[in-house]
Structure 1
Amino acid sequence: MLQKLNLEHILFLDIETVPEQENFNLLEEAKQELWEQKSKYQRKDDYSAEEFYHRAGIWAEFGKIITISVGYFKINGYQRSFRVTSFHGEECNILKEFKILLDTHFSHPTHLLCGHNGKEFDFPYIARRMIIHKIALPEKLNLFGKKPWEISHLDTMELWKFGDYKHYTSLKLMANVLGIPSPKEDIDGSMVKEVYYQENDLERIIKYCELDVITTAQVFLRLRGDNLLEEDEIKRV
């Protein structure tokens, strides 16, 4: 089935998120109380709501998107390239620009979105933040009333599960076991908040996000039995 998909019809993507404020004390009182309630189950009695706030970025209600990186294949005969670009800046503008991309270039029924754990995180997070910003959902993210087979989403982690709903495999682990060269990342997901708020180094985060998009595409190629991308086939635009 994967071999039948047209690579040029797939948009690979990844997002990076942070808490909406740098620290808990900057939240208005009502939002502090809501965060305390929301995080109570996960933090249990080990941490206070304030101490646990560094995790707020993983919830769309308490976080924000600081970059969306995307990648797509261009194939000309026997030549192929993988083009990577990123949206960044104010979150509302990021979402509007991403929506334009989907509406103008990836709106056909044959077009697909692909991420690693995208169905559980990236896709719903983007949709929720769009609604919060009063942005109409693009067709590829508007799942209301759709049947499962009508949803144009691919997820490399789900493909690796082979029906095992309990199995979680990180992108880094999948790349390792599938023999995909490890990208030279100088940060990981746990460091994004610090790099964004304290170091003010968004470019470093964008590079990390783009590397994850490239790795996701490499994993997808391996899952369908294709040759991996060579360095000279990857173009940043």
Structure 2
Amino acid sequence: MIDKISLENILFLDIETVPEEEAFNALDEEKKELFDQKTQYQRKEQFTAEEFYDRAGIWAEFGKIVCISVGYFTFKSDIRHFRVTSFFGEEKKILRDFSNLLDNHFDKPQHIMCGHNAKEFDFPFIARRMIINQIRIPNKLNLFGKKPWEVPHLDTLEMWKFGDFKHYTSLKLLTNVLNIPSPKDDISGSDVGHVYYVEKDIDRIITYCEKDVIAVAQILLRLRREDLLIEEEIIHI
């Protein structure tokens, strides 16, 4: 099935998120209580809500997006390129710019979005943050009323599962297994909050996010039994 999809119709993406506030004490009392209630199962009484707050970025209700990176293939004659770009800055602007990209360039029926564990995390996180920021959800993210086969999303984790719903494979592990250069050669997802709030190094986060997008594209190429991208084919915009 994936062999029949034109690579030019796929928008690869990854997002980076952080806690909405730098510190737990920056939350008002109601939000503190709500975070405490939301994370009780995950904390299992081993951590206080304050000690657990550095993980708040995984929930759209308590986190925010600081970077969305995207990539797409272009072909001219026999020349293949993979173009990568990123949206960053104030969250509302990130979401508006990303929405405009989808509406203006990836809104045709044949267009598909692809990420790793994106159906579970990236796609719903973006949609929820758009609602919170009062931004219209673009068609490619608006799943209301759609049948499962009408959803324009690919997930490399889901493809690797082959129907095994208990199975989880990280992007780092899957790239290792498939002999793809690892995108996790600097920071990991758990470091993003520190890099954003303490180091204030958004460029480092952008580089990390773009490497993940490239890795997802490489995985899809492997699944299609096609040659991996080489450095000369990757263009950062």
Mark yes or no: TM-score above 0.5.
yes
* Secondary structure, counterpart of 2:99 in structure 1: helix
- The CA distance in 2 between the partners of 1:132 and 1:19, in whole Å, is 15
The answer to whether structure 1 residue 229 and structure 2 residue 225 are counterparts is: no
What residue number does 1:106 align with?
106
The residue number in structure 1 matching 2:181 is: 181
Note if contact 1:178-1:222 (Cα within 8 Å) is conserved in structure 2.
yes
**Contact 2:172/2:184 (CA < 8 Å) preserved in 1?**
no
Contact 1:185/1:211 (CA < 8 Å) preserved in 2?
no
Alignment of 1:84 with 2:100, yes or no, is: no
> In 2, Cα distance between the equivalents of 1:185 and 1:216?
15
Aligned pairs for 1:129-168 (under 5 A) are 129-168=129-168
The one-letter amino acid paired with 2:10 is I
Q: Which residue of 2 aligns with 1:7?
A: 7
Please show how residues 11-160 of structure 1 align to structure 2 within 5 Å.
11-160=11-160
Would you say the 8 A contact 2:36–2:49 is kept in 1?
A: yes
The alignment's C-alpha RMSD in Å is: 0.7
Q: Aligned equivalents of 2:30 and 2:181: distance in 1?
A: 46
- Residue 146 of structure 1 aligns to a residue whose secondary structure is coil
Runs of 4+ deviating beyond 3 Å:
none
Structure 1 stretches lacking a partner, 5+ long = none
* Matched residue count: 237
- CA–CA distance in structure 1, aligned partners of residues 76 and 166 of structure 2: 40
AA partner of residue 121 (structure 1) = F
Between the aligned partners of 2:95 and 2:89, the Cα distance in structure 1 is 10
Deviations along 1:134-183, whole A, 9 cap, x unmatched?
11100000000100000000000000000000000001111111111224
Letter in 1 for 2:168: Y
Provide the TM-score with structure 2 as the length reference: 0.99
Deviation per CA, 1:25-82: give whole Å up to 9, x if none. Answer: 0001110010000011110110001000011000000000000000000011211100
Gaps of 5+ in 2: none
